[in-house]
Amino acid sequence: MRVAFFGGSFDPPHVAHVLAAAYLVSTGDYDDVLVVPVYHHAFDKRLAPFADRLRMCELAMSPLPGVQVSAVESSLAVPSLTVRTLQHLQHASPGHEWHLIVGSDVLAELGKWHQFEEVCRLARLRVLGRIGFEHPQAEPAVLPEVSSSEIRELLRRRDDSDSRQRLGALVPRSVLRYIDEHRLYHTDTRC
């Protein structure tokens, strides 16, 4: 069984995340795409609560068959490390062939990852191109230039009509509803 491992902060998930998952389902010859929100970021980034990010991923990915959202990192030691998560998944599902999915914008940070050589032994690396971050190792750009930090800034300014309009184009409606219902990102008080 071939599984695409698509991890990240998803703080919050946006249309580029959904498009990446849809692209993988459509072109990747994977049996499953596993979306894995990080539980405790290895670089100690402040994030919205895990339960909220997990639920937003479930909402964002729900229209896509073949895409599963996993809370696996909540049961592992902190900080969350991709190598640790992949080791756990390989042990739990020894017959699976894992493929690590990253965007071309992440390539510059891979040298900072804990035991990156071991990560590449556990999973084949697949780099999705992102507009504004062209790289020779990446597939042609398929992902728009959208970032969760841009989304969080727009959410803080959501009273402004331009910000609301832009948010509507960058964040799935179900995720925006959840953010509003739970008053997430109204101020910079993430955990």
Q: Please write the tens of the pLDDT for every residue from 45-66.
A: 889 999 999 999 999 999 999 9
Residue 190 has pLDDT above 60, yes or no: no
Domain ranges of the chain: 2-145
* Residue 138 pLDDT level (bands cut at 50, 70, 90): confident
* Contact by Cβ (8 Å): 67, 30: no
Assigned fold of 2-145? Rossmann fold (3.40.50)
Name the nearest CA neighbour of 129 among 101, 169, 171.
Answer: 101
What is the distance between the alpha carbons of residues 29 and 151, in angstroms, rounded to a whole number?
A: 31
Question: pLDDT, tens digit, for every residue of 113-131?
Answer: 888 899 999 999 999 988 8
Instruction: Say what the pTM is.
Output: 0.91
Q: What is the pLDDT of residues 62-112, one digit of tens each?
A: 999 999 999 999 999 999 999 999 999 999 999 999 999 998 888 878 788
**Residue 188: what pLDDT?**
57
| Mean model confidence pLDDT for the chain | 91
